[in-house]
Amino acid sequence: MLKDLLDCMSQDTISTPEKTDQLKDELCRYYDNPVFLKCKSMGDLVKMSLKEMLRQNKKNFQGPSEKKHTIN
């Protein structure tokens, strides 16, 4: 259901091009990730931001037993 909403947002014009470009720049700086500059719509930006938040959250809360260990 969430995926359907995000897909719809990605195809719809839900903001002005100026505001979309502004958010691209701000998210790029906030996450220090240029991938946001490739987004074409506000929906794409929301989708990418959610992915980035989940990625960072997983990285921050990954317990020691979940980290991969190498055997020498």
Q: What per-residue confidence (pLDDT) applies to 64?
A: 58
Q: What per-residue confidence (pLDDT) applies to 4?
A: 84
Q: What per-residue confidence (pLDDT) applies to 46?
A: 92
Which H or E run contains 34? Answer: none
Q: 19 near 37, Cβ under 8 Å?
A: no
Q: What per-residue confidence (pLDDT) applies to 58?
A: 82
Q: Rounded to two decimals, what is the model's pTM? A: 0.72
DSSP state at residue 30: H
Q: Closest by alpha carbon to 24, among 2, 6, 48?
A: 48
CA angle 65, 69, 72 (to 5 degrees): 150
Token reading at 54: 């989940």
Dihedral in degrees, nearest 10, Cα atoms 16, 18, 24, 26: -120
Which residue ranges in the chain fall short of pLDDT 50? 69, 72
